[in-house]
């Protein structure tokens, strides 16, 4: 069971808007060096929604090859079409990923039984671990708690990324956490509350900029040093909030640029950060000693 800081990796683009594979390889190596415990590619932060199937396959292949077994790689293979999610999951499994991140079906949503089978079909078909991804702010729907309970006993469903921001819901999900089913925080401002409920770590946007600190925070908590973990969480809370002052991943890419790690722009409908918010983010980063 993977524990710690799992970065929700950005996808770098070049000046022409194409995937910058050289920078992508550099980011993977950097995260290995900085102590990141796992990498998620093609998630929300990775802008997979505006990438072609061919680009997604190339990104997964590049990250898996660059990681070389040094760090687990989890691929976001989700879709609101179950058959498309199945196809992508099988493809990424063949490419050698260590796990899959499966998002709830957005737009068409689904009733509880449809939601259950959406995930079960993929989990039945692959031989690698699957992580449920609950992010109602993006999908317009939540995975019902009772559906999570049913799926938590599936041998290939090993965790949930809980990104609802609802601690009461997280507490309900925590009742199903055991040695075979974990919970990861999907919100960087709520890592410690999730850990206190039995969580195993975070799938983090913040870690794109500060991988060592996020790793150290989770490790400190899991090793019993709650004071150190709390200090890290609260010390960087202004920066964490700044990373979400506009829709993710706009602020985190801007923060990486400000920190000397330019990773290119965005794909429409995402646009560059407003100048006023960029100035706020820069001020926060200076106050936190990041630039």
* Catalytic site positions: 133, 161
Contacts of 36 (CB under 8 A, 6+ apart): 4, 5, 6, 7, 71, 207, 211, 214, 215
> What is the number of residues in the chain?
291
CA pair distance 29, 261, nearest whole angstrom: 14
What does the CA dihedral 197, 164, 73, 183 come to, rounded to 10 degrees? 20
CA pair distance 243, 261, nearest whole angstrom: 15
Which H or E run includes 79? none
Q: Which two tokens mark 105?
A: 């079906």
Q: Which two tokens mark 140?
A: 């317009």
Distances (CA, A) of 135 to 65, 81, 241: 29, 17, 17
């Amino acid at each position: 069971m993977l524990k710690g800081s799992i970065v929700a990796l950005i996808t770098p683009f070049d000046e022409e808007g194409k995937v910058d594979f050289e920078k992508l390889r550099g980011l993977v190596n950097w995260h290995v060096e900085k102590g990141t415990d796992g990498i998620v590619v093609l998630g929300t932060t990775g802008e997979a929604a505006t990438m072609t199937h061919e680009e997604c396959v190339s990104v997964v292949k590049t990250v898996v090859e660059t990681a070389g077994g040094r760090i687990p790689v989890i691929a976001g293979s989700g879709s609101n079409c179950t058959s498309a999610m199945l196809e992508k999951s099988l493809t990424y499994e063949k490419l050698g990923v260590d796990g899959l991140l499966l998002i709830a079906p957005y737009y068409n949503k689904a009733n509880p039984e449809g939601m259950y089978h959406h995930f079960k079909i993929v989990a039945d078909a692959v031989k690698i671990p699957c992580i449920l991804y609950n992010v109602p702010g993006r999908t317009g729907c939540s995975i019902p708690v009772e559906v999570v309970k049913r799926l938590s006993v599936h041998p290939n469903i090993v965790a949930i990324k809980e990104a609802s921001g609802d601690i009461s819901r997280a507490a309900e999900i925590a009742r199903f956490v055991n040695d075979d089913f974990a919970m990861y925080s999907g919100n960087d401002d709520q890592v410690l509350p999730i850990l206190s409920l039995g969580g195993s770590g975070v799938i983090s946007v913040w870690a794109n900029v500060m991988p060592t600190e996020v790793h150290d925070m989770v490790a400190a908590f899991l090793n019993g040093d709650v004071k150190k973990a709390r200090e890290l969480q609260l010390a960087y809370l202004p920066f964490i909030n700044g990373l979400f002052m506009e829709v993710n991943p706009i602020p985190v890419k801007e923060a990486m640029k400000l920190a000397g790690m330019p990773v290119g722009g965005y794909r429409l409908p995402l646009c560059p950060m407003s100048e006023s918010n960029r100035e706020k983010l820069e001020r926060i980063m200076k106050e936190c000693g990041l630039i």
